[in-house]
Structure 1
Amino acid sequence: MQFNFSHRRQIFSSIYSMIRKRQLISLLVVKLILQALPMAGPFVFMILVDYVLIKGQLTYFKWVVTGYLLIYIVDSTFQAVHLQQTNKLINGFTFQLKHKIWKNILRLPADDEESGRVGELKNTMESDVDELKTYFNTQFIDYYIQWLLSIVYCVVLLCINYKLAIFSYLMIPLSFWMTKWLGKSMYSTSERYRKIWGGYEEWLSNSIQGWKEIKALNNERKQLATFTRFWGDLSVLFFRRQMYWFGNRSFISFKDFFVTRMNLYFLGGLLIMDGDLTIGSLILFMKYYEVFFGGIQKINSSDMDFSNLLPSLRRTLNLAVIPSAQPKGHKIRSFERITFESVYFSYRGSSRYVLEDINFQLRKNEYVALVGKSGSGKSTFINMLLGQYQPLKGNISINGIDYKNLDIQCLQKLFGVVIQDSLLFNMSIKDNFYIVKPNATIEEMWRVCKQSGIEEYIRAQPNGLDTIIGEKGVKLSGGQRQRIAIARTLLLDSSILVFDESTSQLDHETEKMILNTLEKLAAYKTVIVIAHRHSSIQAAHRIVTFDNGRIVKDVFRISRIT
Structure 2
Amino acid sequence: MGVNAEESGEPVPGDGVGDDSRHPVVWLFDEYARPYWKSFVGGLTLSTAEQFPSRLQTVLIGVAIDAVLLGSGPFRLPLVPDAWLPTGRSAQLRWSLALLFGSFVAVAVLNFTSRRVLGRFTQAFQHEVRTEVFDTVQRLEMDYFDSHDTGEVMSVLNDDVQELQSLVGGVLARGLSLVTVAVASYAYLLWLNWQLAVVLSFVPVVLFGMSYGFSRWIEPKQLAVRERVGDLNSRLNNNIDGVSVIKAFGTESTERERVRDASRDHREAQWDAHWASATMDPVTRAVSQLARVVTLVLGGVWVISGPPLFFTGALTPGALYVFYRYVGSLMVAMQGVAEVVDAYQTGKAAATRLQGVVEHDNVVDRPDARELTDPDGAVAYDDVTFTYPSRDEPTLSNVSFDAAPGETVGIVGPTGAGKSTVLKLLLRYYEADRGTIRVDGTDVRDVTVESLRESVGYVSQDPFLFYGTVRENVAYARPEADDEAVVEAAKLAGAHEFVADLPDGYDTMVGERGVKLSGGQRQRVAIARAILRDPAILVLDEATSHVDNETEVLIQRTLEELAADRTTFVVAHRLSTVRDADRILVVDDGEIAERGTHEQLLERDGLYANLWHVQVGDVTALPDAFLERVRRGESA
Q: Same fold (TM over 0.5)?
A: yes
Question: In structure 2, do the counterparts of structure 1 residues 9 and 59 end up closer, same or farther at CA, with 3 Å as the change threshold?
Answer: farther
Partner of 1:539, secondary structure, is coil
Query: Aligned-pair distance for 1:17?
Result: 4.4
Q: Which residue of 1 is the match for residue 583 of structure 2?
A: 542
Structure 1 spans left out of the alignment, 5+ residues: 1-6
Matches within 5 A, 1:113-512: 113-257=145-289, 259-272=290-303, 273-274=305-306, 276-320=314-358, 325-328=363-366, 329-333=369-373, 334-512=375-553
Give the whole-Å Cα distance in 2 for the aligned partners of 1:559 and 1:521.
Answer: 25
The answer to whether the 8 Å contact 2:510/2:517 transfers is yes
Equivalence for 1:3: none
Q: Which amino acid aligns with 1:460?
A: D
**2:56 maps to 1:40:** yes
Question: How far, CA to CA, are the matches of 2:246 and 2:24 in structure 1?
Answer: 45
Unaligned runs of 5+ in 2: 1-20, 73-88, 307-312, 603-636
Give CA deviations for 1:413-432 in whole Å, capped at 9, x if unaligned. 11111111111122211222
1:15 and 2:29 correspond: yes
Change over 3 Å in CA distance of 1:505–1:108 after alignment to 2: same
Question: Which residue number corresponds to residue 4 of structure 1?
Answer: none
- Deviation, 1:189, is 2.0
Task: State the 1:140 CA deviation.
Answer: 2.5
Higher radius of gyration, 1 or 2: 2
CA–CA distance in structure 2, aligned partners of residues 164 and 320 of structure 1: 52
SS in structure 1 of the partner of residue 565 of structure 2: coil
CA distance in structure 2 between the aligned counterparts of 1:349 and 1:144, rounded to whole angstroms: 46
Q: Is the 8 A contact 1:418 1:499 kept in 2?
A: yes
1:8 and 1:181, CA in 2 relative to 1: closer, same or farther beyond 3 A? Answer: farther
The one-letter amino acid of 1:131's match is: E
Residue 225 of structure 1, CA deviation: 1.4
CA contact under 8 A between 1:184 and 1:307: conserved in structure 2?
A: no
Q: Distance between the aligned counterparts of 2:348 and 2:23, measured in 1?
A: 13
CA contact (8 A) 2:57 2:103 kept: yes
> Which position in structure 1 is the counterpart of 2:96?
64
Letter in 2 for 1:222: T
**Conserved? CA contact 1:342–1:394, under 8 Å:** yes
CA deviation vs aligned residue, 1:409-462 (integer Å, no higher than 9, x gap): 111111111111111122211222343221111111111111112212221223
The Cα of 1:117 is off from its aligned counterpart by: 3.9
In structure 1, the partner of 2:612 is: none
SS at 1:103's partner residue?
A: helix
Shift of 1:557: 6.8
Query: In the alignment, what sits opposite 2:619?
Result: none
Contact 1:518 1:527 in 2 (8 A): no
- Note if contact 1:498-1:527 (Cα within 8 Å) is conserved in structure 2: yes
Give how far 1:141 is off. Answer: 3.5
**CA-to-aligned-CA distance 1:291-343 (integer Å, 9 cap, x gap):** 22222222222112222332212112343566853124121121452222221
Cα distance in structure 1, aligned partners of 2:515 and 2:32: 41
| Separation in structure 1 between the aligned mates of residue 24 and residue 540 of structure 2, nearest angstrom | 47
8 Å contact from structure 1 (residues 541, 558) kept in 2? no
Distance 2:475 2:562 in 1: 22
- Of 43, 47, 70, 1:31 maps to 47
TM score, norm. by length of structure 2: 0.83
Query: Structure 1 counterpart of 2:70, which letter?
Result: I
Q: Deviations along 1:125-150, whole A, 9 cap, x unmatched?
A: 00101112321233123323432442
Q: Distance in 2 between matches of 1:59 and 1:508?
A: 101
Q: Deviations over 1:158-181 (max 9, x none)?
A: 111112111221122322332333
Q: Identify if the C-alpha distance between structure 1 residues 47 and 434 changes in structure 2 by more than 3 Å, giving closer, same or farther.
A: farther
Using the TM superposition, name which of 460-469 and 544-553 deviates more. Answer: 460-469
Q: Quote the Cα distance in structure 2 between the aligned partners of 1:527 and 1:554.
A: 16
Letter in 2 for 1:70: G
| Matched AA of 1:520 | E
Deviation at 1:80, TM superposition (A): 2.5
Aligned length: 554
CA RMSD of aligned residues (A): 2.2
Shift of 1:518: 0.9
Distance 1:434 1:235 in 2: 45
Q: Distance in 2 between matches of 1:31 and 1:96?
A: 23
Q: Is the 8 A contact 1:100 1:320 kept in 2?
A: no
2:24 and 2:348 in contact (8 A); partners too: no
Residue 10 of structure 2 corresponds to none
Q: TM-score, normalised by structure 1?
A: 0.93
Cα 1:531–1:488, aligned 2, differ >3 Å: closer, same or farther? same
Identity of aligned residues (%): 25
